[in-house]
Structure 1
């Protein structure tokens, strides 16, 4: 019997500010903050908070095409800027938009070659588009200058079209706060597992255990399941310890991606977690985990206009998308997916 394919986790980190005077981002750009960039023929949308009704802020944009698909594919995550809303799932909105690669090329949008039609969908789909993240030719971890690969040079006098009409998801796009935009670069988590990294992990865990009263069994060279001994940890279980071990490999990670993989919970999830993830509102099919936002992102979310800081507070935000990535050719509306938010039981640990 063939063994199951190994789960590939990709780690996203901020890689310098996206200066609009030098670069114009597109829907192919992976970024934190800024205005959302929509694929051709997809109307701009500005979601509002499901709790208080306030305009939501654009938090993250991820370009994540799938193998064996003729579509470009992007995810946009929005959050209510109020702390009391951003810590709850209802305060977040996740929109998925797609467009045919051929259509994007006809519209003058840079694209990437269509994948072979026989290629199967897999957990490494995101890695297939690694050139869009600047991995190709990159020296070491986050050491390459990926900006030219991730955004187009800003043409003199160019700007966003003012004629696009927003849909009923919200008001005009300029109603909500705008966060300073940063590029996102990516690396495979397995590349972080050198001995130096493991020594750093051990030091951080020992410090955490001495403060929290939790003992974690670490050092699983074969990648096996970690086992933890609970000795009255402050948070009541070993889930947070396990989360911290993963974060410690790269404390600055703002995003983890593993299409059809397993999320990393920051605290014990509900026993009925599977039932909490609703079916796709478009095709009625199941949803699968795709990515999650990490605590280090919170400190990077600063208002672009220099005004009062938005007070986003969250531990991790889990994004679930349609397993089939259903899409109607020619559709001009992004599809809403599902976010599940867990509060950070020890936010000060990341500051």
Structure 2
């Protein structure tokens, strides 16, 4: 197992060596279905890891890229907001973009609002950490805020690009976190709208997205999801000290954590339903904030144990498959699991920094 410092350095190198010249972080440089595309969700967390590592320039370039992508869609957002009535999903902004900032040319599960909230949180957090002037990205921020305040409550695909018919608690958490983070930098009607949407998203999640004292996968569900800890840290939908937060972390751990590796959800058949490194880091991040340093370190060590020989972190590993009979189908369809996944590397940097062991 590589040392934490060595794997952190390798993670930073993997991220920055694959960063596009225009600033985008590719989801994975080798995986057939991800190659050539960048997501706001993946990239937002990856940029947070790089920012925590101290590489301001790389994170700046990513946020510059997102800003350009969003500014180019100012007119589209204005048209959507003024359309009135139901807007077809196909007209919404996509969840992933080419490195040049274009929409993808092949079909995808595109309508996902969480990434726009995640980016708002990431760019504000980065700017505050390094004392940067947020006005550098103001135009793109305003597009994201206007888009979310208009469409935050619509059903859409979740983090895993499934169930477009549902309203997902992790999505509501990301929207709340992003709008709350940027609120001090807004003014006038935009600030009023952002505060209203953030409060409404939180109220909806806590009234219809809680069962048996813990957050659930989507409104009205009884299942949990490995992304739910993000509603606590970093997005603050519920405070770390809130009993709902403690119950959510405990239920996710009991249902989805095996030996330090975290599954997405019990019904997951993607590559057989393996354990995701980034979700292990997310749960570890939450445990660290909740005061369980030993638990957080357990997750950090588990991630390091699953690095490849050259220090690359995959998307998931097949140690404890939930549905092993489904694995071959995905191998035949898309080839080996995405390796490296830049989001995995970004999350490793976040957790290592949270534990104070980056250097």
More helix by share: 2
Alignment TM-score, normalising by the size of structure 1: 0.27
User: Highest relative contact order (Cα 8 Å, sep 6+), 1 or 2?
Assistant: 1
Q: Return the index of the structure with the highest Cα Rg.
A: 1
